[in-house]
Amino acid sequence: MGRSATLPKLTPQERKPVDTCARYLLHNAKYLKYEDYLKAGLPMATTVIEGACRHLIEDSMDITGARWTMRSAEAVLPLGSLYISGDWDKYWQFHLEQEHKRNHLALYSSGILLMKQVLKGGCSTIPPPLPTPV
């Protein structure tokens, strides 16, 4: 790898990705014994993982006419992963519980709606702190 970067006389900036990759391989060589793993009957999961990632990304992102920013893609891909893995229902229940705690428990913590307290007068418009679990 180093030789292939040296022969064409790459600049230090052009060499940087090659040097980074070579350093990574040298430092992790003890983990890169694929022949030994295959002989031991262990699966090489990279193909399976790459296929799953490709499937997930294509299904989520490759919609005709859609335009994705990095921010929106990063928001959508975890949701697609939850759906494909079969964990959507558990996640959605958790999400609803968190939204309820964040948006409603503070308003109803004393049994009286915060707005009614404000209308009675003399009360702060800042919601009370969430009750601590017992």
Domain segments of the chain as ranges: 2-106
Q: Average pLDDT, stretch 91-96? A: 92
**DSSP code at position 40:** T
- Average pLDDT of the residues of the chain: 79
The identity of residue 100, as a single letter, is H
pLDDT class of 92 with cuts at 50, 70, 90: very high
The pTM score is 0.42
Within 10 angstroms of residue 60's Cβ, the number of other Cβ atoms is: 19
Q: Which of 33-42, 58-67, 87-96 has the lowest mean pLDDT?
A: 58-67
**H or E element in which residue 88 lies:** helix 88-100
Q: Does the pLDDT of residue 87 top 60, yes or no?
A: yes
